[in-house]
Amino acid sequence: MKILIDMNLSPVWVKYFAENAMMSKHWSEIGKATDPDKVIFEYAKQNGFVVFTHDLDFGTILAATNAKAPSVFQIRSHNLLPEAIGPTVLKCFHEYDSFLGLGCLITLFDQKSKIRLLPLN
């Protein structure tokens, strides 16, 4: 699994994922901070990444386009740093690993998660 970290999350997530044997890239390593979500979405889809974000727009794009990929993992929490929610994020990634390969939208609300398979419509 490859994780593409959206601009609205800290690049410290790259180190955190690497320390936990997960490959990730922050969008700032690939594109521009001003790139629209649609560009990030398409890059993730074409290159087999799971989008990791705090932005609800990716779920909206999935619904509006009836897309089957990429999988999106969105965090709905006040504290977005790995030291606060990292273990819960890892647990969720591992728990839903098989679904991420098929295409899904995962939403993590602090300590609870919800999954929806793609396409959303």
Does the pLDDT value for residue 58 go beyond 80?
yes
**Cα–Cα separations (whole angstroms), residue 110 to 70, 86, 87, 113:** 23, 11, 11, 8
* pLDDT score for 87: 96
pLDDT at 57 over 80: yes
Confidence check: pLDDT of 110 > 90: no
pLDDT digits (tens, 9 = 90+) for 76-101: 998 999 999 999 999 999 999 999 99
Phi and psi based region of residue 66 (left: phi greater than 0; alpha: psi -120 to 50; beta: remaining): left
How confident is the model at residue 92, as a pLDDT?
A: 95
Amino acid of residue 29 = E
Residue 16 sits at φ, ψ, to 5 deg, of -60, -45
Select from 53, 34, 55, 51 the least CA-distant residue to 43. Answer: 51
CA distance 47 to 26: 14
Mean local confidence (pLDDT), 97-107: 95
Whether the pLDDT of residue 121 is over 80: the answer is: no
Residue 120 has a pLDDT of: 86
> Given a cut of 80, is residue 111 above it in pLDDT?
no
Please state, rounded to an integer, the average pLDDT across all residues of the chain.
95
Q: Are 11 and 81 in contact (CB under 8 A)?
A: no
